[in-house]
């Protein structure tokens, strides 16, 4: 659904829509619980205040909503649920009232005018805020609309309501800012260093600035080509922005920038050298510890089990003496008591072996 141009419509009833972070978090949570990984959208109620053309959206809640994907004219919104929820919200904060409704669009749809007309019974000039829960472009993920009567060139034609775009922005109270910062602190990737996070933030801001400058340039090109009418208010704001820019052709300022940049690069270079030296030092320490561990393992005495004694005795032969067998096997023990214990075990094994041989020979005889 296209938005009608300004010159074709009557004056819009509001100038600006302010959306608070709590509203965005509630809408994203509602979408993840109801319509994640689907083509469905979620719909809810916006609560807040309206004063002198500025709509301040401070709270929201979801309402049951269904629509037919094949036939957009078929839809259902549980307004009874909305009335029950609003009565409970009003007990908590009487200052907040219904200012409009939201949708996760991500664009306007054919039946949005019919849904919007339902909220005319609750508020004179409701606002529609479309939230893009999966934004692919830089910028705020909100687009606000309101309805006005379209002015027809032919007086015999009946006027109808159409959507017009309303500027929107994100704002927060001090308490909300603290809460948002706390949440963002928990979702940060711990594997990324603070410097990398700051660089990423600066890069994102520069990309956003580049997109806005391209948008301004595109608008001015259209005005020059007379494809858009001249708007003195927009030109006034652009001139105000450019007046805030400093004069970079001053020699003192250029020298100060160069000195500041050189100082910062020197600090970064020294920090890199220190990190490299520390990493090399840790590597050398690990190598030394590994060598000491290997030497300790090599010098550690081995403990011979009874099976090893039996195998060694069999390899040396039956005619070899007990003490010769032990000395030829080159056993080493950590304590002398272990040497005596295994010697007794070997002697006992030899005695059992001889008795078994004698008993076998006697049976054959």
**What does the DSSP assignment read for 39-55?**
S---EEEEEEEEETTEE
Whole-number Cα distances in Å, 118 to 112, 115, 127, 240: 10, 5, 12, 41
Identify the DSSP state of 65: E
Q: Residue 57 belongs to what H/E stretch?
A: strand 54-62
Q: How far apart are CA 129 and CA 64, in angstroms?
A: 17
Backbone phi, psi, residue 89, to 5°: -65, -35
Contact in structure between 116 and 102 (CB atoms under 8 Å): no
Question: How many whole angstroms separate alpha carbon 176 and alpha carbon 58?
Answer: 10
Q: What is the pLDDT along the chain (365 residues), one digit of tens a residue?
A: 545 444 444 567 888 999 998 899 899 999 999 888 888 899 999 999 998 889 999 999 999 999 988 887 889 999 899 999 999 999 988 889 999 999 998 889 888 999 999 998 889 889 999 999 888 877 788 999 999 887 766 666 677 888 999 999 998 888 888 877 777 666 655 555 667 777 888 888 888 889 889 999 999 999 999 888 888 988 998 898 888 887 778 888 888 888 999 999 989 888 888 988 888 888 888 888 888 888 887 776 555 545 555 555 555 554 455 445 544 444 444 444 444 454 555 555 555 555 555 555 555 55
Q: Is 109 helix (H, G, I), strand (E, B) or coil?
A: coil
pLDDT at 98: 94
Question: Distance between CA 70 and CA 72 in Å, rounded?
Answer: 6
pTM, entire model: 0.55
pLDDT value at position 174?
A: 80
Question: Is residue 106 reached through a cis peptide bond, with omega within 30 degrees of 0 on the bond before it?
Answer: yes
What was the pLDDT predicted at 6?
A: 42
Per the DSSP assignment, residues forming a β-bridge with 100 are 46, 127
Taking the mean position of all CA atoms in its chain, how far away is CA 164?
33
- From residue 335, how far is each of 104, 133, 329 by CA, in Å? 78, 72, 17
CA–CA distances in Å: residue 115 to residues 99, 108, 109, 197: 14, 11, 10, 42
In this structure, what are the phi and psi dihedrals at residue 328, rounded to the nearest 5 degrees?
A: -70, -25
Q: Closest by alpha carbon to 69, among 44, 103, 27, 38?
A: 38
**Residue 338 vs residues 41, 294, 334, 348: alpha-carbon distances, Å:** 78, 25, 7, 15
The two three-digit tokens of residue 323, written as one number: 């003490």
Q: Which residues contact 362 (CB under 8 A, 6 or more apart)?
A: none
Vertex 17: Cα angle to 162 and 108 (nearest 5): 40
Distance of CA 360 to the CA centre of its chain: 81
Provide the token pair at 9.
Answer: 């419509």
């Amino acid at each position: 659904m296209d938005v009608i141009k300004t010159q074709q419509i009557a004056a819009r009833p509001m100038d600006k829509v302010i959306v608070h972070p709590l509203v965005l978090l509630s809408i994203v949570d509602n979408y993840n619980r109801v319509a994640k990984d689907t083509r469905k959208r979620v719909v809810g109620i916006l609560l807040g205040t309206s004063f002198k053309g500025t709509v301040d959206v401070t709270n929201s809640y979801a309402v049951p909503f269904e629509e037919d994907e094949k036939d957009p004219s078929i839809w259902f919104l549980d307004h009874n649920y909305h009335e029950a929820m609003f009565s409970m919200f009003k007990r908590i904060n009487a200052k907040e009232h219904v200012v409009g409704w939201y949708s996760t669009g991500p664009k306007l749809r054919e039946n949005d005018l019919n849904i919007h007309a339902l909220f005319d019974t609750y508020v004179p000039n409701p606002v529609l805020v479309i939230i893009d829960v999966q934004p692919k472009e830089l910028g705020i993920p909100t687009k606000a609309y309101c309805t006005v009567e379209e002015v027809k060139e032919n007086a015999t034609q009946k006027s109808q309501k159409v959507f017009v775009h309303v500027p929107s922005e994100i704002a927060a109270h001090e308490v909300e800012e603290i809460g948002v910062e706390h949440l963002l602190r928990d979702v940060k990737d711990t594997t990324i260093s603070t410097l990398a996070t700051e660089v990423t933030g600066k890069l994102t801001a520069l990309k956003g600035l580049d997109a806005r400058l391209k948008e301004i340039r595109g608008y001015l090109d259209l005005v020059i080509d007379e494809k858009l009418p001249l708007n003195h208010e927009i030109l006034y704001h652009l001139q105000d922005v450019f007046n805030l820019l400093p004069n970079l052709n001053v020699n003192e300022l250029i020298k100060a920038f160069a000195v500041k940049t050189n100082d910062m690069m020197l600090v970064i270079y020294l920090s890199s050298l220190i990190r490299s030296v520390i990493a090399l030092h840790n590597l050398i320490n690990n190598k030394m510890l590994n060598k000491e561990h290997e030497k300790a393992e090599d010098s550690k005495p081995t403990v011979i089990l009874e099976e090893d004694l039996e195998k060694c005795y069999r390899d040396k032969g039956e005619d070899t003496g007990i003490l010769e067998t032990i000395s030829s096997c080159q056993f080493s023990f950590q304590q002398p008591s272990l040497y005596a214990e295994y010697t007794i075990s070997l002697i006992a094994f030899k005695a059992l072996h001889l008795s078994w041989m004698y008993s076998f020979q006697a049976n054959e005889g």
